[in-house]
A and B are shown apart, each in its own frame.
Chain A
Amino acid sequence: MKRTEPFEMYQPTSLKEASRLLKEKGPGGRFLAGGTDLVIAMKEKGLVPKYVVDLKRLPGLTGIHENKDGRITIGALTTMREIETSPVLTKKYPFLCQSAAEVGSIQIRNRATVGGNMSNATPSADVAPSLIALQAKTTIASAAGERTVALEEFFRGPGQNVMSTDEILTEVTIPKTSSRLVGEYIKFSPREMMDLAYVGVAVVYTLGEKEKTCEAVHIVLGAVAPTPIRAKKAEDALEGQILSEALAEKVGALAAEEAKPISDVRSSAEYRRAMVGAMTKRALLNAAVGPAKSWVERRDRRY
C-alpha cells in the first residue's frame, strides 16, 4: 500500500488561529478530523495537500448537547461511535444512531466524525439522509464570522459542498421535534458490513395525535443522486394519510421515480431504482413499528 507524501501539519487551538493559519499558508491546505476519508485520499488517490490543519485541538467542537429549548447540537468532531451509542439520541432518534452504526467498523467509527461525513459530501454518506430528514442545520465558521445553512442545502455534488476553503463546519443542529416523531434509516448493500450504501433511505414522520395520520413527512434518499435528495412527491403522497401497506408501496414507487441513480461497479441504475422503492416502503412500515432491538433485527427487517 502506498504511503502518504510528506506535508506540514498544524494544530491550532482556536478558530481565530486556524483562520490566521489558512490566510498565511494560502490555498492547497486540508482540514483533518478523523482522517478516514482524508488519509485514504492521500494513500489511494495520490492527494498531496500543501499542508494539513488538524481540527481536533479546537475547543467546543465535540459532544452531543440537548438544549433547554429542545434543540440538539452535535459538534462537528463528534464521532460516529459517539452518535451510535449516545443515550440522548438513542432515546429520541434511534434511527440516527442506526445510520451512524452503519458506517464502516467500530475502529472506523471511533475516528470518523459527523463533520467529516458531511464535509466529504459523498452521495452515499450514511448519516446525511437521517439528519436531512430531521431538518438539521449546519453552522459554518470562518474569520468572517458564522453562518447557518440547512443541511438539505449543504451538498452541491459528489465531493462538493457550500463551504469555501477557509470555512469550518462547527456543528449540526437538530431542531425541536414532536414526541410522536418516528423514523427509520435503511442502508441497502448486499454485503452486510464494511460496504458503502447502494441505496440509503431515511424516513421521518410524526403520527397524528388521535388518528394515526402521517404528518411532516420527510423521505430522503442517499447514493442515488449526486447529493442526498428529498423525495418530495413521495412525501406529499403520504402527508396527512394513514399508512397502510398498499400506501407504503405507492409512496415507495414515487420515491423510485424521483431517484436519479447511476450505474457503477456496485450496481446498475435500474437495480438501485427498484431498491429505492422497496426500501422506502420497508422504512415507512418499520418506522411505525418502532426501533429494531438489535443489529440482526435491523438487518433482517429490511426485507
Chain B
Amino acid sequence: MNQKIQFTLNGKSTTMEAPTHRLLLDLLRDEIGLTGTKEGCGTGDCGACTVLMNGKPVNSCLVLSGELEGASIVTIEGLKIGPELDAVQNAFVRDGGAQCGYCTPGMLMMSKALLDENSNPTEDDIRFALSGNLCRCTGYAKIIQAVQDAAAMIRSKNVQ
C-alpha cells in the first residue's frame, strides 16, 4: 500500500510516496539515496542503522515508512552543519575512532544523542549509551576516547 508521507529529513521538508511497509533504512538508502546509514544485522542488535527520529536515536531497520508522517529524521548526512564537521565527527577522525568505518555512522549518531543530553559523560555513561552499537574493529577504546574528546570540545565551546 503506497502512502503519501510528509516528514522532515535532515532539516528539509520532504514529501514522497512510499509503501507503508518499507523500512526507514531502505527508504533512506534505496529510494532517497542517502547511503551513509548502514545495515549490519537488520534486527535491532548492532546499531549501524541508528538515526535520530524526533531527536531520539532509533534503529531505522525497525521503523516502517508508514510511521513517518510528521516525523523529523536526522541521518549521518545531516550531522554536519554547513562545511563544519560536528564535534563528534572531528573527534572520531582525530582519535582514530573508526577503522573499517561500517559501524561509524551509527556510533556517531548515538554519540551525538548522548552528548546532546550530557556534555560531561563518564566512561561508564559512554559505555552504557553505546551498548547497542557493535564495532568489530576498534576494540572500543578509541571510540570511547573520541566521545570523551568530543565532549571536551563541546564544553570548551560552551564556555567561550
- Given A9-B3, A40-B44, residue A106 in contact with residue B64 (CB < 8 A): no
Contact B26 A3 (CB under 8 A): yes
- Given A107-B57, A107-B58, residue A7 in contact with residue B21 (CB < 8 A): yes
Q: Which of A1-31 contact B (CB under 8 A)?
A: 1-9, 11
Q: How far, in whole Å, are A40 and B42 apart by their CA atoms in the complex? A: 9
Interface size on A, residues (CB 8 A): 34
Contact A107 B132 (CB under 8 A): yes
Main secondary structure of the interface of A (DSSP, over half): loop
Contact B41 A56 (CB under 8 A): no
Main secondary structure of the interface of B (DSSP, over half): mixed
A-B contact count, CB below 8 Å? 95
Determine how close the nearest CB of chain A comes to the CB of B85; give it in whole angstroms.
23
Q: How far, in whole Å, are A294 and B110 apart by their CA atoms in the complex? A: 20
Chain B residues whose CB sits within 8 angstroms of the CB of A180 once the complex forms: none
Q: Which of B83-106 contact A (CB under 8 A)?
A: none
Chain B residues whose CB sits within 8 angstroms of the CB of A1 once the complex forms: 39, 41-43, 61
Q: How far, in whole Å, are A9 and B113 apart by their CA atoms in the complex? A: 30
Contact A6 B57 (CB under 8 A): no
In the complex, per-residue mask of A22-62: 1 if CB is within 8 Å of any chain B CB, else 0:
00000000001001100110011000000010101000000
A-B contact pairs, 18 of them (CB 8 A): A1-B43, A3-B23, A4-B21, A6-B1, A9-B1, A35-B62, A39-B62, A52-B21, A54-B66, A105-B133, A106-B57, A106-B131, A107-B132, A108-B44, A110-B56, A110-B57, A111-B59, A193-B132
Partner-A contacts on B (CB < 8 A): 1, 3, 19-21, 23, 26, 39, 41-45, 47, 50, 53, 56-59, 61-64, 66-67, 69, 110, 113, 124, 128-129, 131-133
